[in-house]
Amino acid sequence: MSSDFYRSIADYYDYIFPANEKQVAFITEQMQGDCTSKALLEVGCGTGNLCNQLTQHFEHVSAIDINPLMIEKAEAKAFDSGRSIDLSCLDMLQIKSAFRPQHLDAIVCFGNTLAHLDSLLEISNFLQQAHFLLKPGGQIFLQIVNFDRILQDNIRSLPVIDNKHIRFERFYSYDATSHKITFRTILTEKVNKTAIENTTSLFPLQKNQLKDILHDCGFPHIQFFGTFTKEAWHESSMATIVAASC
């Protein structure tokens, strides 16, 4: 998994993906109780918005990202807020070597991070490692684009993110031979009127594939949602959101 895709847009990341209180509420509600004695790991933390928010609910928060510039920004954000977060620049396929087994109460992987893995084998590898790190009864929370919808309806673009700072355009091109999506973005910075274009490959992980892998990796209790407010998942949902427990 390459870190290059997000490096050039790191300075604008918070304009594209600001803090989202609905994600925090989703996690804490699914945990069903007091989290102040619990430990959580965020995988693919970006600039640290979510993990910073989660320090208000969890006793111990760790977070990783493959991009060192993202980690630098997350560290600065934690320092400014006075919050304690164990931040590491780490590939998500290396978490088993970096954390103690059966130590975590929750693992969070949002923002389509899972789709940046290369294959079903790599996705299974990550989820096996996650299961190894979770305590019995621990939970993993996942969010990806609803690739069932993308493939079924031949979706070529996602909604444009447009505000006073940036315009962020996102385009998809599916290759049936490789079963990969070429993900192309154009970020226009409005003050200087500069444009940054990036391309990367995504694996279009579908709901039933993810369900089967989670079950095989030791997560027998799996819930799917279409939004962070727990609306039911359906084929036209924009996102596929998962809460699964060991």
Q: Residues of the chain whose pLDDT is less than 70?
A: 1-3
How much is the mean pLDDT over the chain?
95
Q: Looking at residue 180, what DSSP letter applies? A: E
Pairing mode, strands 39-43 and 104-109: parallel
CB contact at 8 A, 153 and 160? no
Sign of CA dihedral 136, 143, 130, 79: negative
Q: Is the pTM of this model over 0.75?
A: yes
Instruction: Quote the pLDDT of residue 2.
Output: 52
Instruction: Quote the pLDDT of residue 7.
Output: 85
DSSP string, 182-209: EEEEEEEETTTTEEEEEEEEE----HHH
Return all residues near 137 (Cβ < 8 A) that are at least 6 apart: 245, 246
**Domains delineated in the chain:** 4-147+205-245 (3.40.50.150), 149-202 (2.20.25)
Instruction: Quote the pLDDT of residue 3.
Output: 57
What would the two tokens of residue 86 be? 């164990």
